[in-house]
Amino acid sequence: MKIFVLLLLSTGASLVLTWILRSYAIHKNIIDIPGGRSSHTIPTPRGGGLAFVIVFLLALPLLAGNGFLSWSAAWAMLGAGIGVAVLGFLDDHGHIAARWRLLGHFSAAIWALCWLSGLPTINLFGHEFALGWFGHVLAVVYLVWMLNLYNFMDGIDGIASVEAICVCLGACVIYWLGGFNGLIVAPLMLAMVVVGFLYWNFPPARIFMGDAGSGFLGIILGLLSLQAAWVSPKLLWVWLILLGVFIVDATVTLMRRLLRGDKVYEAHRSHAYQFASRQYGRHLPVTLAVGAINLFWLLPLAACVVWWNVDGGLALTVAYAPLVFLAVRFHAGELEKV
């Protein structure tokens, strides 16, 4: 019963703190002004994601102290989360060079993996692969890509919040179905604190989460997936499937921009979801479509990996195939026609 009270209090705290941060952003003129590379048309306060960052970080010691989370996972999330959030907060208030941001991202990922012991054995098409030190390097790159892709995908109202909530709640359902009850509380807590923020971020958004919030969500979701993989290797596939919308859109966009020779660290609006929001003239249909894809396509496929022992690599391939098609269909990575 106590955990439900904590979850509800955390949601309320996130909601109220977002309101306070919105007032602060308006007072200090921390406003996202629409430009040629943005997807919104109205000046909007930013930095509200700091609300769920603070509440989630404060909840971590309580979860660990009551046995809902291992202390090693808590320290991994605390250290990496604080580092990424502080870096994002500073970038929200002024520009930090890409090389320094990237150095901070790698430092946060390495810190976290020192507590989580890197990448566990991977099961792929009936074979087990213990990757050793290469696995550790791969895990660092994965975490850095996760936090950056989440920042890239936070470009229209509500999309990053809805994705985090859907992925976390989807993972909780699969944990419950598969008997991994000990893993449920941490992603459930993350979902609930983001729900409090979503009240202010749902289209039309009254505040944006900013780099502090989006980068934090990216690395915490990545860490939750690695934590689960150490309990059961097939759970890594579950998370990769659930995160499919963001992973596919961001990766297809990045690859096409790299092949064209673009400066990938510069702001742009060539993701599939951004093209889609301009095509439909509103953010809401695209944000709701992301939620629907998660609920009706990705969640059932991820559940098959645990419930019916479907091979994770096969399920991932089936899950991603139509997402790649949609990314190409909505011009991910293409130059915007003037």
State whether residue 129 is helix, strand or coil. Answer: strand
Name the E strands within the chain. Answer: 31-32, 44-45, 122-124, 127-129
Q: Is 211 annotated as a binding residue?
A: yes
The residues, any chain, with a CB within 8 Å of residue 222's CB and separated by 6 or more, are 142, 143, 146, 147
Q: Is 151 annotated as a binding residue?
A: yes
Directed axis angle between helix 159-178 and helix 132-153, to 10°? 140
With 0-12 / 13-18 / 19 or more C-beta atoms within 10 angstroms meaning exposed / middle / buried, residue 4 is exposed
73 — phi, psi (to 5°)?
-65, -40
Place of tokens 């909601």: 15
Task: List the Cα angle 187/192/197 in 5-degree steps.
Answer: 125
Distance of CA 318 to the CA centre of its chain: 22
Which residues sit in the known binding site? 151, 211
Tell me the binding residues for Mg(2+): 151, 211
